[in-house]
Amino acid sequence: MPDDMLLHFSSNSSNQSDQSLPDKIAKLEARMVGKATPAPPQQQHLQQPARSSISSAAKFGVPDQLAEPSTSSDSEDDHGEEFLIQANTQKRRKVQENDNSNAFELVEAVADGRQKIVESMETKGVSDGNKKKHGRGRGHSASCRGRGSRVNDQTRSQVSVSTVSPSNGHLENPHHKVDNGSKEQFWNQDCSAIEEEVSSLRAKIASLEVDLHKSRQETSEYQNLCHRFEKELKEVKDCEQKMKPKRTKIISDLLISVSKAERQEARMKVRQDSLRLGNVGVIRAGTVISETWEDGQILKDLNAHLRQLLETKEAVERQRKSLKKRHPDKGDGIDSESGVQEEDFLIQDEIYKSRLASIKREEEIILREKDRYELEKGRLIREMKRIRDEDGSRFNNFQILNHRYALLNLLGKGGFSEVYKAYDLVEHRYVACKLHGLNAQWSEEKKQSYIRHAIREYNIHKTLVHHHIVRLWDIFEIDENTFCTVLEYCSGKDLDAVLKATPVLPEKEGRIIIVQIFQGLIYLNKRGQKVIHYDLKPGNVLFDEFGVAKVTDFGLSKIMEDDVGSQGMELTSQGAGTYWYLPPECFELSKTPLISSKVDVWSAGILFYQMLFGRRPFGHEQSQERILREDTIINARKVEFPSRPAVSNEAKELIRRCLTYNQAERPDVLTIAHDPYLTYSKK
C-alpha cells in the first residue's frame, strides 16, 4: 500500500471521522490481490507498488499486523472475495482499536524510512535517480520504467506520491503529487551536484594521497640523512674530544717554544745593549749592598767627546781673549803697518768665533744623541728589571692555569701582583693574566681586606663593556694565597712608555688620545651606576696594536650610588692614588672630601697637559711625599703654559676648564664632553 495512503489512513483512523473507511480499505485490498474479479490494467499497475509499499512499511518498522494482509493475499489466491473482505475487515477494526500512538509511530517509521533512503541516495550517488520515469496517467505516479529491483521500487514508492482516482476507490492527494515532482527534480539535480563534488573530492584525495606518499618518502629520506648526520656528528665530537688534549698539548708546546725563543732573544738583546748603554753594578759598603748604574761604551765615548769639545771650547775662548789683549787701541798707531795689524786681528777673531760656533753645533748633536741613548738606557733598565722579576717569579715555568690559560712571558710586576701574557686555549686568543699574591706574613685581617678590595674591583670591572675600556674576562683562585684576574690583552705600549720615549707629542696626536679617554669616561658616567675611575694616569692608559687607547686598572674606582647629591660621595680612601693627577679636594684634611666625576676631569686635564708640554703642570720634579708635605696641589690655583711648544688656544682653554681649582665651578664628565675641542666633524 502506498505511503500516502497509509498516512491518509492513519490520520483518518486517528480522527475516527468515517466508521466505514476500514470496510472500504479492506474491499480495496481484496480487489487488488484477489483473483475472483479480474483487475483492470490500471489496478495491475498498482499491485506491485502496493506490495512494495507494504513491504517497505514492514522494513521500516510498521507493525506486523499491518504487514500480514499483503502476504496472506499473495499466499491465498484461491480463496473467495468474501473471505478476504471479512478477514481484512476484522484486521482493520483491530487496528482501529489500538491507541492513537500506533498511528504516530507508523508516521514516524515512514519518515525515518524516507530519511534513510535519502541518505543512501547521497552516499551512493543515486545514479538510478536519473533513470526514473514519471507517471503521466492515473495510477502511474508510483510506477517505474519496467520492472526494477525491490530496492528501487521501495525508493520510488517512498520518494514519489501515489495518486489514485476516486472512481477506482483510491485516495488522491494533488498537493503531494506536485511536491513529488519538484522533489524528484530537486533530488536529481542535487544528487548530480553532489556526485560531481564527490568525484572532485575523490580526485583531490587521490592527489593528496600521492603527495602524502611522496612526503613520507622524503621524510623517510630526511630522517635517514638526519640519523646519518647525527651519527657523523657524534663521531666528529668523539674524535674532537679525543683530539682535544693532543691539540691543546700541541698548541701549548708551540706557544712555549715561541715564548722561550722570545725570552732568549730578549736576554741577548739586553746583553748587547748593556755593552753599549751600560749595566747595573753592585757596590758593597761594609754590610750594605747597593746597586749603581755603570754606563756602557757608547755613553762613555759620548761623554768623552763632549768633554773634549768643552776643553776645545775653553781653549778657543782663551785664545780669543788673549788676542783682544794684544789688540792695540784704536787711537794708537796711525801708520800703514798698524792698519795691517788691524786686519789681521779681525780675521783671527773671526776664526775663533767660527770655531766656537762649530763646537756648539757638535755639542748640540752630541747632547741629542746622548738624550736618545738615555731613553734607550731607560728602556734597557725597565727590561732588565722585567727579566729579573720574571726569573724570580714562581709562575715562570709556563704553567697552564685553570686548565685553560697558558702563561707565557711576564709583562710587568707591581706591588702585590704580576701580569703575564697568556693564551686562552678555549677561546684561542691572547689575554693578560694578573696574578694577585697575598703575603704569607700578612695578618688574616689584611688578607681579607685585600681580597675584598680585589673582589670589589672585579665586580665593577666585569660589567664594563666599551671599546675604550679594557675588558675583564675571568677571575679564579689559584691557591689560598693567590688568585688571578684575566684581562683583555693590549699588544701596544702604555701611555707612560710612550711619553718616556717621546716626552712631547704633537697636538694632533695628543688630542685624539684625550678624546678616546673622555669617551671611556662618558661611558662610565652614562651607566645606571656611575663609576669614578679615580686613578687616571699614563700607566693606566693602554694601546692595542691599532693604536686604540683603553682605560684600565679599576682598583681605586668608586661607584656612585643613586642617592648621592650633586656634591658627590664621601672619599673613604684618602691618601690613595697618584698625587700628581689628583685634584685639590682630595687633599683636604679638615673634613671628609666629597668627590664626583670631576676628579677624573682634573686627571684628564693633567694628562693632556703632560702630552703637549712634556711635563706635569704641578709638582713635576717633586716626589709624592714632598707634594703632600708642601701642599703643592692645594696651592695649584692657576695653570701656566710655557711659550714652547706652540699649542692652540682651544687646547689651552680645554686644559683650563679641566684644571679649574674650585670644584663647584669645574665641569663634570658629561658637561665637558660637549666641548667643541673634544668633538670631530667633517670640514
3-state SS record for 191-223: HHHHHHHHHHHHHHHHHHHHHHHHHHHHHHHHH
Cα(first)–Cα(last) distance of the chain, in Å? 110
Domains 400-488 and 495-678 share a fold: no
Statement: residue 43 has pLDDT above 80: no
Pairwise CA distance, residues 130 & 150, whole Å? 17
Give the pLDDT band (50/70/90) at residue 48.
very low
Which of these, 610, 599, 601, 677, lies nearest to 641 by C-alpha position? 610
434 is in an annotated binding site: yes
Mean pLDDT of 387-391: 92
Q: 6 pLDDT exceeds 50?
A: no
Is 3 in the active site? Answer: no
**Cα gap 87→65, rounded to integer Å:** 12
Q: Using pLDDT thresholds of 50, 70 and 90, give the confidence band for residue 129.
A: very low
> What's the pLDDT tens digit per position in 567-590?
555 565 555 678 899 999 888 877
Alpha-carbon distance of 440 to 416, in angstroms, equals: 12
* Count of Cβ atoms closer than 10 Å to residue 297 Cβ: 11
Q: Which tens digit of pLDDT belongs to each residue from 300-339? A: 888 899 999 999 999 999 988 888 887 755 544 444 455 5
Q: According to the model, what pLDDT value does residue 32 have? A: 55
Name the strand (E) or helix (H) holding 410. Answer: strand 405-413
pTM of model > 0.85: no
The whole-chain average pLDDT of the chain stands at 76
Closest CA to 373 of 309, 314, 305, 308: 305
Grade residue 562 by pLDDT with cuts at 50, 70 and 90: low
How many whole angstroms separate alpha carbon 24 and alpha carbon 26? Answer: 5
Fold of the 400-488 domain: Phosphorylase Kinase; domain 1 (3.30.200)
All structural domains of the chain with their residue ranges: 3-172, 296-392, 400-488, 495-678
In CATH terms, the fold of domain 495-678 is: Transferase(Phosphotransferase); domain 1 (1.10.510)
Q: Where are the alpha helices (DSSP H) in 81-173?
A: 81-97, 100-124, 150-159
> What's the CA gap between 173 and 165, in Å, rounded?
10
d(CA 121, CA 158): 12
Poorest-confidence range of 251-255, 327-331, 433-437, 659-663?
A: 327-331
* Position 605 pLDDT exceeds 90: yes
Backbone angles phi, psi at 583, to 5 degrees: -80, 170
Taking alpha carbons only, the member of 287, 285, 304, 308 closest to residue 295 is: 304
399-420 per-position pLDDT tens digit: 999 989 999 999 988 777 899 9
Contact between 550 and 488 (Cβ < 8 Å): yes
Q: State the pLDDT at residue 556.
A: 81
Q: At 16, list the grid cell.
A: 475516527
- So what's the pLDDT on residue 437? 84
Q: How far apart are CA 549 and CA 493, in angstroms?
A: 10
- pLDDT exceeding 70 applies to what percent of the chain? 69
Q: What is the pLDDT of residues 114-127, one digit of tens each?
A: 555 555 555 544 44
Residue 516's φ and ψ, nearest 5 degrees, are -65, -40
Q: For position 38, what pLDDT does the model report?
A: 44
SS3 content of the chain, % helix, strand, coil (to 5): 60, 10, 30
Element (H, E) at 449: helix 444-461
**Residue reference for cell 492513519:** 10
Q: Can you list the pairs that 526-531 forms with residues at least 24 positions away whose Cβ atoms lie under 8 Å?
A: 526/670, 527/463, 529/559, 529/560, 529/561, 529/562, 530/559, 530/560, 530/597, 531/460, 531/464, 531/557, 531/558, 531/559, 531/560
* Distance between CA atoms of residues 523 and 526, nearest Å: 5
d(C-alpha 412, C-alpha 552), whole Å:
15
Catalytic-role residue among 474, 494, 535, 668: 535
The span from the CA of 122 to the CA of 131, in Å, is: 16
Nearest to 31 by CA among 172, 170, 173, 171: 170
Q: How many CB atoms lie within 10 A of CB 543?
A: 19
Q: Residue 113: its pLDDT value, please? A: 55
Residue type, position 347, single letter: I
State pLDDT tens for residues 211-248. Answer: 999 999 999 999 999 999 999 999 998 888 888 888 88
